[in-house]
Structure 1
Amino acid sequence: MKTVKIDLLIVGGGVAGLWLLNRAIKQGLNAILLEKDTLGGGQTIRSQGIIHGGTKYALNGVLTQASNTIKEMPQRWRDCLEGKGEIDLTDTEILSEAHYMWSKGSLGSKMTTFFATKAFRGRVEEVAKAERPAVFTDKAFKGSLYRLNELVLNVPTLINALRKPVDERIFQADILDAEIDVNDANIHSLQFPEFNLRLEPSQIVMTPGEGFETLAEKLQISEPKMQRRPLHMVMVKHNLYLPTFAHCIGTGSKPVATITTHPCDDGKQIWYLGGDVAETGVNRSKEDQIRFAKKALSGLLPWIDLTNAEWQTFHVDRAEPMQSSLIRPDSAFAQQVGNCTIAWPTKLALSPDLSDQVLPLCSGLNEKPDLSALSILPKPETAQPLWETMF
């Protein structure tokens, strides 16, 4: 059996794992990544691609810890997208340079004043009528519209941009199929009899999303615990050309609905609905969720005719470190257990922050990697958006 010694084994090929792999290799670590299915095939491909700046976490008029933690992320991503950041993401398609926030009526004076404070300078600005996106130019729109410093990315192109410079370090294998020599959460080796291969990693970082539960059981890891916050997402397929990237806000602390627009291979577009529509729809049937979403959109954007649109829904769980009362974590999370680090970015936008937390926990042997024995492992494909398979 061929033995390969490595500094760092990353388990899970979502954006968090791919970002970490790029950073680790640049830092000089002999690192590889194992993905059991498709790259980005879990939460990553089901995300809306929004690089949040934290504004939606302050809709109750209070600047929260979550809002402060994430506020620097959009600029950090922009640097990478322009080829001058820590990772070259110039091959990533930007679907929108900004995300918007609208209300059906005028915002209250308290909220308007809040957005004008120094804390939100450069993050939120009111949009003049002449500069509104097409979907908000109809005379029937009477509300307030704000432009947020939040990019929206085409997620499959992001995955491919992250895999491109490190593709020779990415392999398809499920560590649940391996014979693992583990003692007190220290993993000494992983043997894959099917491939006549033995891996001996100095450190392991796990970014498998909701797959962590089965891994934790096999590896006898009792802490940290994982929580799931479920969503029932809605997809609306149409041939209207009305790119819409916006949160609709009401009187509550969460967006009533969050809409992003994504291209389909057949030339049509998808409106992808999250926000409160998705959170409150967890216990609705598919049919009831579609009825609810239709009613919500007809109330929020009554001037848009979706008569000929196609509708689909799906369930997805956001996997995160467990919090009291299942609340949303404020930041990316990394916890070391033996020679393993358990990690969740908690938000797509926080993947760079996760790498900042994980990399100081890793060290290298400065040995030139010999990856020839790994060539027997297959290569994972990049995940497809669900709208390419569900319609």
Structure 2
Amino acid sequence: MSTPQHEIHLDIAIIGGGVAGLWLANRAKLAGFSIALFESKALGSDQTLASQGMIHGGMKYTLAGTLTGASEAIAEMPGHWRACLCGEGDVDLRHTRILSDHFFMWSGDDLGSKITSFFASKITRGRVDAVHPDRRPPLLRHKDFSGSLYRLEDLVIDTPSLVTNLANNIEGCCYQIDWQKAQLQRDNANKVTVKITGDQGDVVIHAQRFIFTAGKGNAQLLAELGLDQPAMQLRPLQQVMLKHHYPFDFYGHCLGRETTPRLTISSHRLPDGGHVWYLGGSLAEQGASMEAEALIARARAELAELIPWVNLDDAEWACLPIDRAEPLQPGFVRPDNAFVAPATGASNLLVGWPTKLTLAPNLANQALALLASGNIAPIHPQTSLLTWLPLASLAKTPWEQAFPPALSAEEALALRFREPDDEQP
């Protein structure tokens, strides 16, 4: 006997469970749409949890001494995120942990006169402030530090708590999908559906709009439908992680001779309390094609030159290659903004890339505007898919995977509070 086939109709079906898909799902749910989000790995995997958590206003793009399209496109993002973190924005992020409410920008030597004057100008007022020597962070509070130090309005959030917060806001709507048992389809009217084969029979999911927010995976999803537009470009990076014993955290960009930061440092904690520095900037861009051993040697040399008073002889090191996915741009330039557009050849499909963590709200705004322009309104009731799919889990951070604990948190706690008569003879 053939198994029954079920039909489920949703307003919005989102494929890709990173920050872009989760933020958009939150906005769509609040707007009254019935939604489902599908993730093939784990929520936040790849780009989202591999980010440094910076919510920046674009000042790191002004190192040529002028405002740029990229800097102005995201100038309002820190304020937008701060409102959400206070529960006053378009998405409730009150359960997202803030790692730092500012970011530093420093130079190994004195800054050039052009950029010094620019940072002191009225146009950057409130976005960049010079730091007095007695207000330096612990890492740079050393007699051998010289150069200039600025404080940016940028904030840093804990990405695992962000992903958890966004997923909990739409509890029961984030599903784990196995593409070995599911298939994207396109009918004669060029409408996309997803067919899932399960023990309880097959189910075909229809939606007024499917939206791909799978980052690098968008290209493969489009290819499965025989489509290739919108096109994607990849910007390869290789971040460096080091586990160390220093008790202080630091979040900052070190300026070099280029128009992008020479080095970016963010601080993160392991479940066992260990401290990790996560290194990006030009180091990660220029090290994209390097062997891990060579890149670690270069990172060691950079830190030895920039903060020679910090002894990292006992640090543990690891590298993380990342392909940052973006919409294809002429000349492979960096996109200034988030991107969402209809797929060519499918009547009910949108494809988007946030391009940066900080621009996830902008992607959602664009997507909702496209829904409105297409006269897409809530018409289907919210439906559970738990008969066919399990709920999606949260991914581990790159530093958790790079530096796994020798003991689990439970084992460490048990050892800490072991009674004397628990000792084995």
**TM-score category (smaller protein):** over 0.9
1:4 to 3, 8, 32: 8
Q: If you compute each CA radius of gyration, which structure gives the higher value, 1 or 2?
A: 2
The secondary structure found in structure 2 opposite 1:229 is strand
Superposition pairs of residues 175-324 of structure 1, within 5 angstroms: 177-183=181-187, 186-194=190-198, 196-324=202-330
Aligned to 1:88: 92
Change (3 A) 1:184 1:247: farther
- Aligned partner letter, 2:80: R
In structure 2, how many angstroms separate the alpha carbons of the residues matched to 1:185 and 1:81? 42
TM-score (norm. length: structure 1): 0.96
**Does residue 1:361 correspond to 2:374, yes or no?**
no
Aligned to 1:151: 155
Aligned to 2:401: 389
In structure 1, how many angstroms separate the alpha carbons of the residues matched to 2:377 and 2:56? 37
Larger mean CA deviation between 322-331 and 51-60 belongs to 322-331
Aligned to 1:29: 33
Kindly state the Cα deviation for residue 327 of structure 1 after the two structures are TM-superposed: 1.7
Kindly state the Cα deviation for residue 7 of structure 1 after the two structures are TM-superposed: 0.8
Change (3 A) 1:84 1:287: same
Do the aligned residues in 2 keep the contact of 1:11 with 1:204 (CA within 8 Å)?
Answer: yes
**Does residue 1:45 correspond to 2:49, yes or no?**
yes
Aligned residues: 391
5+ residue gaps in structure 1?
Answer: none
The secondary structure found in structure 2 opposite 1:381 is coil
Aligned to 2:359: 350
Kindly state the Cα deviation for residue 361 of structure 1 after the two structures are TM-superposed: 1.7
Do the aligned residues in 2 keep the contact of 1:97 with 1:150 (CA within 8 Å)?
Answer: yes
Larger mean CA deviation between 64-73 and 107-116 belongs to 107-116
In structure 2, how many angstroms separate the alpha carbons of the residues matched to 1:177 and 1:351? 30
Change (3 A) 1:180 1:234: closer
Aligned to 1:101: 105
In structure 1, how many angstroms separate the alpha carbons of the residues matched to 2:107 and 2:191? 52
Residues 113-150 of structure 1, C-alpha deviations (whole Å, 9 max, x = no match):
11122321111100111211111111111111000111
Do the aligned residues in 2 keep the contact of 1:100 with 1:148 (CA within 8 Å)?
Answer: yes
Aligned to 2:390: 378
**Does residue 1:326 correspond to 2:332, yes or no?**
yes
Aligned to 2:126: 122
The secondary structure found in structure 1 opposite 2:239 is strand
Larger mean CA deviation between 319-328 and 66-75 belongs to 319-328
- Aligned partner letter, 2:283: V
5+ residue gaps in structure 2?
Answer: 404-425
The secondary structure found in structure 1 opposite 2:73 is helix
Kindly state the Cα deviation for residue 183 of structure 1 after the two structures are TM-superposed: 4.4
Kindly state the Cα deviation for residue 59 of structure 1 after the two structures are TM-superposed: 0.5
Change (3 A) 1:52 1:70: same
In structure 1, how many angstroms separate the alpha carbons of the residues matched to 2:311 and 2:18? 36
In structure 1, how many angstroms separate the alpha carbons of the residues matched to 2:184 and 2:402? 37
1:17 to 4, 8, 21: 21
The secondary structure found in structure 2 opposite 1:33 is strand
- Aligned partner letter, 2:327: P
Change (3 A) 1:361 1:175: farther
TM-score (norm. length: structure 2): 0.89
- Aligned partner letter, 1:231: L
Kindly state the Cα deviation for residue 180 of structure 1 after the two structures are TM-superposed: 3.5
In structure 2, how many angstroms separate the alpha carbons of the residues matched to 1:354 and 1:370? 23
Do the aligned residues in 2 keep the contact of 1:29 with 1:364 (CA within 8 Å)?
Answer: no
The secondary structure found in structure 2 opposite 1:325 is helix
Change (3 A) 1:299 1:185: farther
Kindly state the Cα deviation for residue 176 of structure 1 after the two structures are TM-superposed: 6.7
In structure 2, how many angstroms separate the alpha carbons of the residues matched to 1:261 and 1:373? 38
CA RMSD of aligned residues (A): 1.5
In structure 2, how many angstroms separate the alpha carbons of the residues matched to 1:97 and 1:269? 19
Larger mean CA deviation between 309-318 and 180-189 belongs to 180-189
- Aligned partner letter, 1:115: F
The secondary structure found in structure 2 opposite 1:318 is strand
Change (3 A) 1:140 1:334: same
The secondary structure found in structure 1 opposite 2:311 is coil
Matched-pair identity in %: 42
